[in-house]
Structure 1
Amino acid sequence: MTDTENSLFALFLLAKSKAPSYFELLSAKNEIEFDKAFDAILEDAVIKIEQNGKNYANLNENGLTGVLAAALSIPGLTVTQETNSNGHVDLVIEADHCSPKRRKLGEAKIYNGPAYHVSGLDQLLNRYTTGREGRGLVITYVKKKNISVLMDEIRNYMDTNLPCNQKGASTNHTLKWSFLSIHTHSCGEDLQISHIGCNLFFGQDLSSRDGEQ
């Protein structure tokens, strides 16, 4: 290699070491690899929000989702809020330099019981999703204590009622307080959805604000 090539390669390795998730997103060969890389970015974003939960206590769903969108935004990943996709979906996540194009949609809810969570799932699958997108997201901001119990209640409710053409029982997600479900979509294909819990309880019950728009 020439000195210039060596310098460029060294710069590449340095950038890769500083932002491994970006390179994993960029180099993903399939949806499985892309989802694995994205989940790492999502986990970091959720943790940052949880660590600052006290500062976000008075935000409504739109405000919290704005914070999440900002936390998810990294070079190569464009995250927008209230973008049109057969209506104004809470989150649109697009990888800028991937081929084929990779796009995710997400709905977000402040916890207000399993039925309210499912209403977000219904919006995501039956209003906004065309079937061309990758794995979808339903984010639940939990301002009550016992997020583990509450997310299990949502999961059990879904596994009992199988909403939105759910196919069988849900499965574990790599992220804590989260799970995966599969649904038969109107496009004729089975689509996977991540259900992600975000713990925003910090010592007082803010349930009076649950579901606030």
Structure 2
Amino acid sequence: MEAHNSNLKDLLLAETGPEFIVATEGAIEHAMKTIENGSKEYSTLNELGLSHLLADCLNLMGWRATAETNNNGHVDVVVACAFGRHWKYLGECKLHKGYQYHVDGCEQLLGYCTGREPRAFCMDFINATDAFKKMMKLRADMDKKRPLKQKAAGADHRILGGFVTSHAHVSGAVVEILHLGCSVPKP
């Protein structure tokens, strides 16, 4: 299992919410790479299709992921622990249309959160060739404008091009958002 699906091993061994998040983010990164490797075929999908594709990839790796699940609204992707724990990781998927569209997606995502989720993710599917550059600009804009009660500048994440921001949630909790860019350039 270590060689074939190390993220699943991490999920099976997870004893805490943070360990679940680390394992799930590893699986999300693997799913992103799978989608990017097939980007010529997937670049024609809309947001709903890409959300379903991401959930399907996660399911094939052993996660329990659903698309368009009702959790204070229709969340694009909900990843839940299928092994007796009650951890959830919520995600919003957007076709990249710039800063405001991404922030609007993050606002939706925070509205789906109850405050008990320490982290959620917002993934932009970028149909241009300069995905990393677009993510760097998005981060710079967010750090400058600090939308949605963003508490501090974004922090690097181990997933290439990804970054994490912290936001004051209406519940009084702080919810982190992992911002990701998945490159699906049109041929």
TM, length-normalised to structure 1:
0.83
Q: Percent identical across equivalent pairs?
A: 35
CA distance in 2, matches of 1:19, 1:36: 14
Query: Residue type matched to 1:38 in 2?
Result: T
Contact 1:103/1:134, CA 8 A, preserved across alignment: no
1:113 counterpart = 2:106: no
**Pairing of 1:51-130 with structure 2 (within 5 A):** 51-74=37-60, 76-99=62-85, 101-125=86-110, 127-130=111-114
Partner of 2:161: 177
CA distance in 1, matches of 2:17, 2:60: 19
Deviation at residue 23 of structure 1 after TM alignment: 2.3
CA distance in 2, matches of 1:152, 1:169: 13
Unaligned ranges ≥5, structure 2? none
Cα RMSD for the two superposed structures: 1.5
Contact 1:178/1:196, CA 8 A, preserved across alignment: yes
Query: Residue type matched to 1:104 in 2?
Result: Y
**Pairing of 1:161-200 with structure 2 (within 5 A):** 161-200=145-184
SS in 2 for 1:163: coil
CA distance in 2, matches of 1:18, 1:54: 25
Contact 2:2/2:9, CA 8 A, preserved across alignment: yes
Query: Residue type matched to 1:119 in 2?
Result: D
SS in 2 for 1:73: helix
Distance 1:75 1:142, change over 3 A: closer
Q: Which moved further from structure 2: 163-172 or 24-33?
A: 24-33
CA distance in 1, matches of 2:160, 2:6: 21
The count of corresponding residues between Structure 1 and Structure 2 is 187
Contact 1:76/1:95, CA 8 A, preserved across alignment: no
Partner of 1:40: 26
TM, length-normalised to structure 2:
0.93
Deviation at residue 195 of structure 1 after TM alignment: 0.5
**Pairing of 1:120-159 with structure 2 (within 5 A):** 120-125=105-110, 127-159=111-143
Unaligned ranges ≥5, structure 1? 1-14, 204-213
CA distance in 2, matches of 1:122, 1:31: 23
